[in-house]
Structure 1
Amino acid sequence: MNSQSEVSPDAIEFEYDLAEPPEKVWRALTVPELLAAWMMPNDIRPQTGSRFVFAGQDAAIECEILDAEPERLLRYSWRERSDDAAHPLDSTVTFTLARTVSGGTHLRIVHDGFARKAMPAVAMAGAGCRLSLHGTGTPIAANTPRLLLLHAA
């Protein structure tokens, strides 16, 4: 599991404490139909080495499962080709799940290598531009983990 200090300066991090148990959160991250409900249509198979594709609006996002430990860790590469073929977004997404004392899940999402390509204004601010969002209350992004849990019964 990555520690905060091991995350690159151009990562975006999200942390949530969810009431749902890790089993339910894992399903929401690894069952194609459930993942599609909050991300994009996909053909994910949560097995290390398997490749899958998100059907993005502009182009397909090619992914490969780098690590999969059921109910604990899911890490995959994220290769997004854009109109600027010379500068594709090659990054890594990591979901870390930990059971909370109450039986829920502490979910940490790190999109490593994202900020420099996707948010050049933030990258220009210099080193240490990592964006971290922590919350237990109202979700702060449109594609929040709370949405994925609506259908992961």
Structure 2
Amino acid sequence: MNAKNQNEVAQDALEFEYDLAEPPEKVWRALTVPELLAAWMMPNDIRPQAGSRFAFAGPEAPIECEILDAEPERLLRYSWREQPGDATPQDPLDSTVTFTLARTVSGGTHLRIVHDGFVRKAMPAVAMAGAGCRLSLGLGRAGMPLAANTPRLLLRAA
């Protein structure tokens, strides 16, 4: 586990928090079953075991990942390394993505997503779109999620 407290967020991180009606078991599946993860993110070959390596089929080049921590239905943390390609920036993103799941009183899930090392590399909207995450700032409309690929999309797959 990373020496940094998992509740501390780096200044160059993107952080999202959601309260979902679905239980942690369903959210975990959407994060760790390759077909379900591909439905809302990108094609991949994830295996949720610490030390395992997998890749996302990024839009320009593969994104190489390694599972750093995996506690079923609680925590998933992996490295995120863009691979240089013809259309990839000269300084590819090398970062960490952390999903923290906690059961709510109602039996749903509080989901926290932190992407460390992200902001210093590129403007969030441009980088998220380039990574296949389809960021959509719907801040003016009450009840609208910040990201178009919110966990609600991932849960449809599960």
Percentage of pairs with the same residue: 82
8 Å contact from structure 1 (residues 139, 146) kept in 2: no
- What letter corresponds to residue 10 of structure 1 in structure 2? D
Q: Which residue of structure 1 aligns with residue 14 of structure 2?
A: 12
- What letter corresponds to residue 104 of structure 2 in structure 1? T
Q: How many positions carry a matched residue from both structures? A: 135
Greater fraction of residues in strand: 1
- What letter corresponds to residue 64 of structure 1 in structure 2? E
Deviates more, 1:76-85 or 1:92-101: 76-85
Aligned equivalent of 1:138, options 121, 125, 144:
144
The reply to whether residue 113 of structure 1 matches residue 122 of structure 2 is no
Q: TM-score, normalising length from structure 1?
A: 0.83
Q: Which residue of structure 2 aligns with residue 149 of structure 1?
A: 155
In 1, distance between residues paired with 2:17 and 2:145? 10
Q: What's the CA shift for 1:86?
A: 3.9
Give the 3-state SS of the residue equivalent to 2:121 in structure 1: helix
Gaps of 5+ in 1: 121-135
Q: Which residue of structure 1 aligns with residue 78 of structure 2?
A: 76
- What letter corresponds to residue 142 of structure 1 in structure 2? A
8 Å contact from structure 1 (residues 28, 149) kept in 2: yes
Q: Which residue of structure 1 aligns with residue 105 of structure 2?
A: 101
Q: State the 4+ residue runs in structure 1 displaced beyond 3 angstroms.
A: 82-86
Q: TM-score, normalising length from structure 2?
A: 0.81
Give the 3-state SS of the residue equivalent to 1:148 in structure 2: helix
Pair 1:19–1:119, CA change in 2 (3 A)? same
